[in-house]
Amino acid sequence: MWRYPATVLAHRGGGTLAPENTLAGLHQGMARGFRAIEYDVMLARDGVPVVMHDPCLGRTVAGTGNVFDYDARELAAMDAGGWFGRQYKGEPVPLFVEFAQFCKANGVWMNIEIKPAPGYDVQTGAVVARIVSAMFADEIAAGESERVPLLSSFSHAALLSAREAAPQVPRACLMSELRPDWERRAREVDAVAIHANHRHLTAGQAAQVKAAELALFCYTVNDPARARELLGWGVDAFCTDRIDLIGPGFPIG
């Protein structure tokens, strides 16, 4: 069975201690010892992927309109940090390739969530998978699976497309709730893992996922007691916003 290289991932790079999906957030996570993170990727107008959660500007990036209304270089010049605090003003929207290269160079393992803008599922899945496949070609060839990023998505179409473009890059199905067809969907994209919202997961479902020989990940777990409970159910790994409460060595450290 495929295995996560870490039990705890810093959600969106640095959880809620720094602006999400930025290099500053990643530095915050790394400063607390995290060497495994989750972050979100979508395409800009020119088809270049950027690190971003929302499909529109306004919440984390100053401005108006959709991410897809701008080229990547325009987004990279926008302020993705000022909303969080004055000291982060001017923190840019990262280009995915640069962000991933920084992670790779610093030994930070990546769960890359493919977050397609509406209507761009197939294109986003293929672009992200091809980039990861090229960036980690040596690790893939050497069978160093613990270093190759994991692609996850709520979008079945994006995962199918990622599989088509780069089958050797592992995939996980993101599901808020495990519906009755969860295993069929996972098999269709040849997934190695299920990524479930812990709020809706039951102990019985966790056991079913493990019995199906799939890895199991939960998002976004911010309470240490709940995290312990989930690990007790057989959950393999999870991401957290509270990197101040749940460290990379949890449950021991």
Nearer to Mg ion by C-beta: 140 or 235? 235
Question: Residues binding Mg ion: what is the number (CB under 5 A)?
Answer: 2
Beta carbon of residue 34, minimum distance to ligand G3P (angstroms, whole number): 15
Residues forming a β-bridge with 56: 66
Q: How many CA atoms lie within 13 A of 241 on its CB side?
A: 8
Nearer to Mg ion by C-beta: 91 or 113? 113
Nearer to ligand G3P by C-beta: 152 or 161? 152
> Does 185 sit near ligand G3P (CB under 6 A)?
no
> Does 152 sit near ligand G3P (CB under 6 A)?
yes
Rule CB under 6 A: choose which of 38, 91, 121, 236 binds ligand G3P: 38
Find out whether 21 and 76 touch, Cβ atoms under 8 Å: no
Q: For ligand G3P, what does the binding mask look like between residues 74 and 113, x meaning CB under 6 A?
A: ---------------------------------------x
Nearer to Mg ion by C-beta: 40 or 91? 40
Find out whether 56 and 67 touch, Cβ atoms under 8 Å: yes
Catalytic member of 11, 156, 195, 198: 11
Beta carbon of residue 153, minimum distance to ligand G3P (angstroms, whole number): 9
> Does 250 sit near ligand G3P (CB under 6 A)?
no
Find out whether 110 and 131 touch, Cβ atoms under 8 Å: no
Cis status of the peptide bond prior to 55, with omega within 30 of 0: no
Q: How many CA atoms lie within 13 A of 35 on its CB side?
A: 11
Decide if 156 is catalytic: no
> Does 113 sit near Mg ion (CB under 5 A)?
yes
Decide if 53 is catalytic: yes
Q: How many helices (H) and strands (E) does the chain have?
A: 9, 9
CA distance 163 to 189: 7
* Contact stretch for Mg ion (CB under 5 A) within 25-33, 34-42, 56-64, 162-170: 34-42
Return the closest-CA partner of residue 217 out of 31, 27, 37, 32.
Answer: 37
Return the closest-CA partner of residue 219 out of 182, 158, 173.
Answer: 173
CA distance 154 to 175: 6
Q: How many CA atoms lie within 13 A of 53 on its CB side?
A: 15
> Does 241 sit near Mg ion (CB under 5 A)?
no
Q: Which residues are catalytic?
A: 11, 53
Which residues of this protein are in contact with ligand G3P, per CB under 6 A? 11, 38, 40, 53, 113, 152, 174, 195, 219-220, 239
Which residues of this protein are in contact with Mg ion, per CB under 5 A? 40, 113
